[in-house]
Structures are given as structure tokens and as C-alpha cells.
Structure 1
Amino acid sequence: MPNILWTRIDNRLIHGQVAVTWSNHVGSNLIVVANDEVAKDPLQQSLMDMAVPGLDTRYFTIQETIDKIGQASDEQKIALIVKTPQDVLKLVRGGVPIRKVNIGNMHYSEGKEPLTNTVAVDEQDKEAFRNLHRLGILLEIRRVPSEKGKNILDLL
């Protein structure tokens, strides 16, 4: 069983807040980014690696994450980062043992409604969150560790 300490939805993926604040807070020593585009883009990977000196990183597609996460060693304390709730749903349905999701940042764009100043959703996002809830996953909006979390279902 992989030692997944924390799973976060953040459309920015790795940045200073994730790399420093959250990784220290949860005690991770490995950040796994599950994203089909970034997994194939060495430039984006190297830019993200600059934000995480001293931490190991892996960049996998969603399917690679499903296939490989079970091979993690006990010493790997994993922070799992994805862009969308749909990605989390695919991971969970693929057998990745996720029990709680931290929703940090989902940018506003046309067709999305803001739930908080950092989280905006459309109907597909809402449906993915509802499906995750039905699967027993806790869903908490929380930008930083010091902030009190909000259950996203209370805002849908």
C-alpha cells in the first residue's frame, strides 16, 4: 500500500505553497504529479523541480500513476498533486487509495462559478466531486495548512 500522505487538486500543480508549506506540514519527501500533459513535457517538469529543492518528484500520466503507485517503497511519503477532480476520480476508480482530497486552487474560467476566491467549478467538476463523495472520499477546500477547511459539498 503506497504511503500517500496528502492529495491536492491545484491547477498550478507544483509551486512554492505546495513545495514548501504543504510538504513540510504533511511530512512528504516525494511529490507525485499525476497529469497527462506534464508527464510528457520535460520543460514544465524542470520548472516545477526548481520550486522543490530537496524533495524528489515524479511526473506520471494518470494511467502511469494507477499502474506504478503501488510500487512505492515504505520510505516514500507521497504528496499526490492533480489538476482536476476528474483526475482524482480516475485515480480512485483505478485503485489508488485516496481517502481525503485537499482542494487548493481551481481557477475561474468561462462556464465556471466561483465557490470561494480560489475555487471555481462547472457541472463536470460538481459531478466528479459528488461521485468522489459517494465513494467515501473527504473533500476539503483549504489553501494553506493554517486555514480552516470547508467541505466542498456544503458549497455545491
Structure 2
Amino acid sequence: MPNILLTRIDNRLIHGQVAVTWSNHVGANLILVANDRVANDEIQQSLMDMAVSDAMETRYFTIQETIDKIHYAADYQKIVLVVETPQDALKLVKGGVPIKKINIGNMHYSEGKRQIAKTVSVDEADIETFKELDKLGVELEIKRVPDEKGQNIMDLI
């Protein structure tokens, strides 16, 4: 069983909050980004690695690679799993990745979305995805930083 300490939806993927604040808070030593675009973009990977300390490992897998490889994680790997969208999180859950709780950090506003929290904006597809994750028994908490009081997204959508 992979040692996933935190699963986070954050459209910025790796940045200071993930690389330092959350990773230190949960005691992680590996940040795994599950994202089809970034898995094949070495420039983006290099830019994100700049936010990470030398003591932290990073991996950049496609969604399918994550599903295929996560169960081979070593016991010593304490993982922060980061995805860009709720749809990616749902694919992982349906693919057998053992995710019981998702931290929703940042989902930026764009055309067609409505803001439901300070850093979270959703459209109808996002809402339907969160409802499906909820039905699958995944806890869904909006929480930017560890010392902030979390809020169940289902109370807001």
C-alpha cells in the first residue's frame, strides 16, 4: 500500500505551499505530480523542482503511469500526490489509487466558473466530479494551508 500522506488539487501543481508548507506539515519526502501535460514537459518539471529542497524527491507521471506505478512505491516514500483538476483525481480513484481524502487548494477562476471559496472556483463539470468523488467515499476539504480551518466542499456546491 503506497504511503500517500496528502492528495491535493492545485492548478499550480508544485509551488511554495506544496513544496515547503504542506510537505513539511505532513512529513513527506516525495512529491508526485500526476499530470499528463507536465509528465512530458521537462522545462515545467525543472521550474517546479526549483521550489523544492534538495531533501525532497519529485516524480512527474501521467495519470495512467500513476495508476500503474503507485502500488510499487517503497515503504520509506512518504508521498504528497498533486493533481491539477478534480477530474484527474477521479481518474486516479477509479484507477485504484487509494485516496481517502483530497485537499482542495487552488482552482483558479476562469470563464464559466463561479467562485465558491477564496481560492476555489468551479464549473458544472467540477461540481459533478466532486459529487462523484463524494459518492465514492472520498473526503473533500478546501484548505489552502495547514493552519487554516478546512471546509467540506460539499457544503458549498
TM-score range relative to shorter protein: over 0.9
Tell me how far apart the structure 2 counterparts of residues 23 and 112 of structure 1 sit (CA, whole Å).
29
Match of 1:122 in 2: 123
Tell me how far apart the structure 1 counterparts of residues 77 and 125 of structure 2 sit (CA, whole Å).
33
Tell me how far apart the structure 1 counterparts of residues 80 and 67 of structure 2 sit (CA, whole Å).
15
Tell me how far apart the structure 2 counterparts of residues 154 and 64 of structure 1 sit (CA, whole Å).
33
Does 2:100 match 1:82?
A: no
Tell me how far apart the structure 2 counterparts of residues 138 and 4 of structure 1 sit (CA, whole Å).
14
Match of 1:17 in 2: 17
TM-score, length-scaled by structure 2: 0.99
Count, aligned residues: 156
Does 2:97 match 1:96?
A: yes
Does 2:35 match 1:35?
A: yes
Secondary structure in 1 aligned to 2:130? helix
Match of 2:26 in 1: 26
Match of 1:72 in 2: 73
Query: How far is 1:81 from its partner?
Result: 0.1
Structure 1 unaligned blocks of 5 or more:
none
Secondary structure in 1 aligned to 2:51? coil
Query: Could you tell me the percent identity over the aligned residues?
Result: 73
Query: How far is 1:117 from its partner?
Result: 1.6
Structure 2 unaligned blocks of 5 or more:
none
Tell me how far apart the structure 2 counterparts of residues 141 and 32 of structure 1 sit (CA, whole Å).
20
Secondary structure in 1 aligned to 2:24? helix
CA RMSD of aligned residues (A): 0.4
Tell me how far apart the structure 1 counterparts of residues 28 and 86 of structure 2 sit (CA, whole Å).
22
Query: How far is 1:46 from its partner?
Result: 0.5
Match of 2:60 in 1: 59
Match of 2:135 in 1: 134
TM-score, length-scaled by structure 1: 0.99
Deviations 1:103-150 (A, max 9, x none): 000000000000012000000000010000000000000000000000
Tell me how far apart the structure 1 counterparts of residues 85 and 104 of structure 2 sit (CA, whole Å).
9
Match of 2:151 in 1: 150
Secondary structure in 2 aligned to 1:102? strand
